[in-house]
Chain A
Amino acid sequence: MTTVALKPATMAQALTRAMRDAMAADPSVHVMGEDVGTLGGVFRVTDGLAKEFGEDRCTDTPLAEAGILGTAVGMAMYGLRPVVEMQFDAFAYPAFEQLVSHVAKMRNRTRGKMPLPITIRVPYGGGIGGVEHHSDSSEAYYMATPGLHVVTPATVADAYGLLRAAIASDDPVVFLEPKRLYWSKDSWNPEEPTTVEPIGRAVVRRTGGSATLITYGPSVPVCLEAAEAARAEGWDLEVVDLRSLVPFDDETVCASVRRTGRAVVVHESGGYGGPGGEIAARVTERCFHHLEAPVLRVAGFDIPYPPPMLERHHLPGVDRILDAVARLQWEAES
């Protein structure tokens, strides 16, 4: 058996590759957004696509997010498969009406006659030292909108696999890209791209028997780090990477919690009205008799995203996660 030498690649490169492969495989795939053409995007995620496929396939649009998504709706109505880039999380808000009133609802309101296969890529989250309006965790808004799939990768391989799946999906997918993982590297062989898995499956990133950390996107590496640190305290933590917020993989999450009996949900998004509340409720409803302690949440504070010099206090870090794990009523066991 020969082993393929794995070269380190960044998440940004994997995303580019996913779009490139999708465009090569399907002429109806069109990339569009602000600065995505000549410049290759402010994060260079669309680098080279305009050159390879022409500006009709990778288009610099006017600077207007509602217009970008609104025209993408029309393009999808005519059989194209638009991949829309919103430049930053907080710049996606002008497109919200199009997203909620049309993208999410068109299939339903036409009884399935007019599906809209649109992928909306949104770089999201903090930790990159961005100034105001560049670091929002906007997933809760999207999760609360029926008709959308909401996914977010945490690894280089998933970035490729999930984006291919999103583009291939006949439903609209909000594809949240954790900005601070854009330059994270992984051993990944682009010549043998990862399997494209169906959207909606979580994955256990680390097995452990003491408690389950339920997390996604930018908080996955933080949780893995916390799990390593927890060994010193005698805890063997399991880490579940949700990958898909909608649909939600109750099966994988609950199987893990039933095994460990304890759970902490970790995300950057604010706690109040954030994804963690929904996840904690689902886990409690389904695993109550397996739980040794209430499901806890480690989230960003309920504040507007802080300025860069203060953001480290806001973002869930290893210590805050370990503190939460320590509060999982271990004393009751002894």
Chain B
Amino acid sequence: MTVMEQRGAYRPSPPPAWQPRTDPAPLLPDAEPYRVLGTEAAAKADPELLRRLYAHVVRGRRYNAQATALTKQGRLAVYPSSTGQEACEVAAALVLQERDWLFPSYRDTLAAVARGVDPVEALTLLRGDWHTGYDPYEHRVAPLSTPLATQLPHAVGLAHAARLKGDDVVALAMVGDGGTSEGDFHEALNFAAVWRAPVVFLVQNNGFAISVPLAKQTAAPSLAHKAVGYGMPGRLVDGNDAAAVHEVLADAVRHARAGGGPTLVEAVTYRIDAHTNADDATRYRGDAEVEAWRDHDPLQLLERELTGRGLLDEAGAAAAREEAEAMAARLRERMNQDPALDPADLFAHVYAEPTPQLREQQALLEAELAAENESREGTAR
């Protein structure tokens, strides 16, 4: 058969019918953020859980205030406060089992502390005596991640590894609205969905990436909608409603643990304080906006609910405040002690064994320090 004959014999068949690979409808977030407190759903909320959330939020608010005060006293280099976002911080920590892992961003010191990390060790990074001050394996809290969204693929990899080993472990990864623009956010969500990794992504949409509002960050209908493109469910929740955040995260954790794969949760909240103590928020937002959000305060929402249901009285509230005050006093006291610094640490952990070059450099530093001591003693004499 000649080529021309073959060509003549060729009858193109229609391509196989195109089918969507996943039905997008069940993945879509609700039109409105899910709420519990002050709604009918609140009646079903576990009183014990509400009390726990409340105690943690009271403590969290005090922790933020104390840490910010410590920056003014020069005890912390910087502190990115999560005031106004305590519901998310606390719910993220409380929703996990002990064997699970938390992957916080730099603003999530509270979540780490709520999970059990020592309150001073959690501030090591911001005090500046080392980078990560706590052992990540002790409470299964990854180091606070400053490069935005880079901790998200770590959470995916860890959850994937746990599943490969047959362990019943879920990873919860935290990120802000600005972080959703990073490439690592996209790659992490994509890997998680493809691998059906037991991960929950919690985006705290606090309205601003330092000074840049969400409108300049994304044109998506909501951040939760981004989930659909990866083939995972997206959930939208009121980030100031601790009971709602806890419920939505608990659902997502259960889904992940059961092998259902990842979920993206967008919690709509607001950063009441500036980006950090070094930032001036008046340059990019007005008081009226901040005041409106103060009226939708995570602590007040919980208080109103608990009081309304007779689960909290003035004595109980006072006890919670006292407990938080005692925590702040302990924190203050410990933070007012100078941290122990050892220059040898600079070389000890770069590699399992220092390279010959690092040994030389360490010897150089030791000689400098010895000379410094000698001249100091000389002056003293």
Contacts and interface: CB of A to CB of B under 8 A. Distances in A.
Interface in A85-116: 94, 97-98, 101-102, 105-115
B351 A113 contact: no
B352 A74 contact: no
Given A72-B157, A78-B161, A111-B345, A171 B190 contact: no
Residue among A67, A109, A147, A247 with most chain B CB within 10 A? A67
Interface in A42-77: 56, 61-62, 64, 66-67, 69-77
A102 B188 contact: no
Contacts of B188: 67, 70-71
A112 B348 contact: yes
B157 A97 contact: no
Interface string A246-285: 1110110000000000000000000000000000000000
Contacts of B143: 106, 109-110, 114
A194 to B, nearest CB: 22
A78 B165 contact: yes
Contacts of A146: 350
Contacts of A111: 130, 132, 345, 348-349
A101 B182 CA distance: 15
Contact of A67 (B190, B350, B351, B355): B190
B152 interface: yes
B53 interface: no
Residue among B130, B135, B345, B351 with most chain A CB within 10 A? B351
Given A56-B164, A114-B143, A250-B356, A67 B154 contact: no
A130 interface: no
Contact of A113 (B135, B159, B171): B135
B48 to A, nearest CB: 32
B118 interface: no
Contacts of A114: 136-137, 143
Contacts of B319: none
Nearest to A73: B154
A149 interface: yes
Question: What secondary structure prevails in chain B residues at the interface with A?
Answer: helix
User: What interface size band does chain B fall in?
Assistant: 35 or more
A201 to B, nearest CB: 11
Nearest to B173: A74
A112 B147 contact: no
Contact of A66 (B171, B184, B348): B184
A75 B159 CA distance: 8
A80 interface: yes
Given A108-B349, A110-B143, A248-B357, A101 B150 contact: yes
B160 interface: yes
Contact of B352 (A78, A109, A170): A170
Contacts of A200: 355-356
28 contacts: A62-B190, A62-B191, A64-B190, A64-B191, A66-B184, A67-B153, A67-B187, A71-B188, A72-B157, A74-B153, A74-B159, A75-B158, A75-B161, A77-B158, A79-B165, A106-B143, A108-B131, A109-B132, A110-B132, A110-B349, A111-B345, A112-B349, A113-B135, A113-B137, A147-B351, A200-B356, A247-B355, A247-B356
What are the 9 A-B residue pairs with the smallest beta carbon separation, nearest first?
A74-B157, A70-B153, A67-B187, A71-B157, A109-B131, A74-B158, A247-B355, A78-B161, A74-B154
